[in-house]
Amino acid sequence: MVKTFKYIILGGGVAAGYAAREFAKQGLKPGELAIISKEAVAPYERTVLSKSYLHPEFPSRLPTFYVYAGPRREILFPEWYSEKGIELILSTEIVKADLAAKSLTSAGGETFSYQILLIATGSTVIRLSDLGVQGADAKNIFYFREIDDADKLYEAIKAKKNGKAVVVGGEHIGMELSAMLRCNNLDVTMVYPEPWCMSRLFTSDIAAFNEGYYAKKGVNIMKRTVVVGFTANSDGEVKEVKLKDGRVLEADIVVVGDGIRPQTALFKGQVEEEKGGIKTDGFFKTSVPNVYAVGDVATFPVKLYNELRRVEYAEHACQSARKAVEAIKAAEEGKTVEEYDYLPVLYSHQFGHAWEFYGDNVGDTVLFGDSSPESSIPKFGSYWIKDGKVVGAFWQGRIEEERDAMAYVARVRPSVQNVDELAREGFSFARKIENFGLE
C-alpha cells in the first residue's frame, strides 16, 4: 500500500516542527502534509536534552519542550498536528529514498509518495566503535542525540549515584553534559585532544575562563589526549578508560560527545552534495526539482559572508525550515521571497552561567570585561576583527538587553579605528553602534 501526500517532511527534529507551523500559517489542507520520524514522539526542542533534561532537581520533561514556535512561542503539542490536519508518522525509519520516483520506503515495507519533499534528517552521532576504539561495545557507554539516549543516561546516573563519569569530547555537547553530570554529584572527567575546550569557537582566553570555572565546580579536565580503549567488568559494564598518553581512568559511566555527521546517506548519488551536506540555493532548493533540505544537512549560501557553509546550530534549523516553506508556498503562488539571510548564533548555559555568540569567529580578537574565574560575578566578552571590521561578538555572563546590540554589531560589521579603545569600551561599543544605527 502506498500513502500519498502533497508534502512530506522527513525527520522529526526541531526543523520539522518549525516547518509544519509555517505550512499551517501559509495555508494547508487536511491530509496534505506528513512528518515521518524514526523517533516515537512529536518534534521537540532537542537542545533541552543536554541543557536541562538531566537536571537532578528540575528535569525538563515532555510535554514542556515540544517545539515552541511562532511569535508567541506556541507549543506544538501532538494534538496541534491533528487539529491542523498534519499526519505524524512516528517510530518509522525510512531505509530507501527514490527521488526520481518521489517515493520513500520504510523498514517495515511501507511506501510513501510525495509531490514535494523537505529533508530535515539532521545529524547522527559518531560512534567510537566506528573508529575502531577497543572495547567500545561495553555497557554504560552512552551517546547523546535523541530523547531515548537521554532516558538511558538518566537511568544510569541514578543507578551509579556518586560514581565516576568520563566525558569524551570538549566541544558544545561535551561541555553541557559534563556540567549536568557534575550537578548530579558524579565525579566528572572531560577528555579531549585539543589544547583548550570549545576550540572551534573559543579563543584561548575565553577557554581559560571556562576551564577554570569548570574546575571550581569540580570537573577534572584532561587535554591533548584521546581515548584509545575501554575495559569492562564481569557484567560487561565499562570499568576503565584508556588514554593515548598511558593514563587510565576509572569509570562507571562514559558519555561520548565527540562529534556528529549529517544524515545524508539515503540521498547519495541522487542529489548534489558539497562540504559534507546537501547543496542548496538561498531558498533551500536542492539540485533535484521539488526537493528541499534544511538544518544540519544543508550546505547553503551564507549571504552575509558570500560563501557556502553547512551549519549545525539549532537556530539555523528553525530559520531554514521556515524559509524553505516560505519558498515552497511562494513558488506555488507565482510569488517571490527574499533569499535566506542568516546570522550565525550559538548559545549555551552551564552551572547557571550563560554565553552567546553571533557572527564569524575569524581574524584577530579583542577581549574585554572581567574574565577571571575567581570573580563573584564574571562578565566579559570578545570581538573578532577582520580587515578592520568587527565580524563576530561573544559575551559571557550576559544581561538580556545586550543581546540585540551584540547581534547588530555582528551583522553590520562596523569599522574599528582603535583596538585599545574598543577593549576599553567593551559592551558600550555595541550599544553605541546599535543606538545610532552606525555601520
Same domain, 285 and 366: no
Asked if residue 349 has pLDDT above 90, the reply is no
Asked if residue 321 has pLDDT above 70, the reply is yes
Cα separations (Å) of 404 from 225, 320, 382, 432?
39, 20, 15, 12
Determine the pLDDT at residue 7: 98
pLDDT digits (tens, 9 = 90+) for 142-167: 999 999 999 999 999 999 999 999 99
Across residues 39-44, what is the average pLDDT?
97
Q: Is 338 helix (H, G, I), strand (E, B) or coil?
A: coil
Determine the pLDDT at residue 376: 78
Same domain, 119 and 97: yes
Same domain, 225 and 170: yes
What is the grid cell recorded at 349? 548555559
What is the grid cell recorded at 368? 574585554
Place of cell 577554570: 212
Sign of CA dihedral 165, 166, 170, 174: negative
Q: Do 199 and 207 form a contact (C-beta atoms < 8 A)? A: yes
Q: With respect to residue 53, please indicate whether it lies within any of the assigned structural domains.
A: yes
Q: How big is the CA angle at 90 (ends 267 and 67), to the nearest 5 degrees?
A: 95
Range of the domain at 213: 128-258
Q: Do 43 and 76 form a contact (C-beta atoms < 8 A)? A: yes
Same domain, 74 and 142: no
Asked if residue 333 has pLDDT above 70, the reply is yes
Q: With respect to residue 133, please indicate whether it lies within any of the assigned structural domains.
A: yes
Which helix (H) or strand (E) covers residue 253, if one does? strand 253-256
DSSP state of 33: E
Q: How far apart are CA 311 and CA 297, in angstroms?
A: 8
What is the grid cell recorded at 393? 561578538
Banded model confidence at residue 181, pLDDT cuts 50, 70, 90: very high
Same domain, 364 and 431: yes
Q: With respect to residue 340, please indicate whether it lies within any of the assigned structural domains.
A: no
Q: What is the CATH number of the domain that holds 423?
A: 3.30.390.30
Please state, rounded to an integer, the average pLDDT across all residues of the chain: 95
Q: With respect to residue 339, please indicate whether it lies within any of the assigned structural domains.
A: no
Domains in the chain: how many in total? 3
Same domain, 39 and 50: yes
What is the grid cell recorded at 337? 521571497
CB neighbours (10 Å) of residue 60?
A: 16
Domain boundary among 218, 240, 258: 258
Domain boundary among 332, 365, 393: 332
Same domain, 196 and 265: no
Which residues on adjacent β-strands are paired with residue 386?
389
Same domain, 171 and 217: yes
Banded model confidence at residue 72, pLDDT cuts 50, 70, 90: confident
Q: With respect to residue 342, please indicate whether it lies within any of the assigned structural domains.
A: no
Cα separations (Å) of 374 from 212, 214, 436?
8, 11, 36
CB neighbours (10 Å) of residue 99?
A: 20
pLDDT digits (tens, 9 = 90+) for 233-271: 999 999 999 999 999 999 999 999 878 999 999 999 999
What is the grid cell recorded at 129? 566503535
Q: What is the dihedral of CA 71, 74, 79, 83, to 10 degrees?
A: -30
Q: How far apart are CA 193 and CA 176, in angstroms?
A: 18
Asked if residue 50 has pLDDT above 70, the reply is yes
